Amino acid sequence: MANSSVFSVLFVCTGNTCRSPMAQALLESKLPPELRPQVRVSSAGVGAADGAPASPNTVSVLSRNGVSLRDHRSRKLTREQVLEADLVLAVTPEHRRAVLALAPEAEARTFVLSTYGAPPAREDPLPVHDPVGGSLEIYEETYRRISTHLDRVLPEILSRVGAA
């Protein structure tokens, strides 16, 4: 796992051009500035091609909401990334299964973003669907859902770095 002085969060989706980089940039923006050095946030995709830029709609939606994606380049998920992370947040149950296929020993710290910290339910009430190829409005909905889920995740992360 990651260096004990830095808490490492890894977001995982399919292509690492929409949802996981959006979650990465949004979580980084939600962290209090003084705690940012204590939390490393990254993202990867189970089917990503290394080096692709974030989708234009992802960049646009984040920018409209005051969040910079900087110079994101996609990365294919590796076993090493999973093993280095203190918390792995997969965008869907399928992504979680792919993570665990690479690193079964990470099961206790690998979760689905939309259900992390939520009360148990028979069905995920707010899944994060893949917006690829969709309109800007679909990307805005993806942004809202990810933001809602991160508001549940953030207190846990802050408690892990001793800020809560």
For residue range 24-83, what is the model confidence (pLDDT) as tens digits? 999 999 999 999 999 999 999 999 999 999 999 999 999 999 999 878 999 999 999 999
Residues with Cβ < 8 Å from 32, sequence gap 6 or more? 158, 163
What does the pLDDT read at residue 121?
Answer: 66
CATH number for 131 = 3.40.50.2300
Catalytic annotation present for 130: yes
Work out how many domains the chain is built from and give that number.
1
Could you tell me if residue 47 is inside a domain?
A: yes
What does the DSSP 8-state code read for residue 142? H
Active site residue: 18, 19, 86, 96, which one? 19
Could you tell me if residue 2 is inside a domain?
A: no
Could you tell me if residue 1 is inside a domain?
A: no
Catalytic annotation present for 124: no
Catalytic annotation present for 151: no
- The domain in which residue 109 lies consists of 7-160
Could you tell me if residue 20 is inside a domain?
A: yes
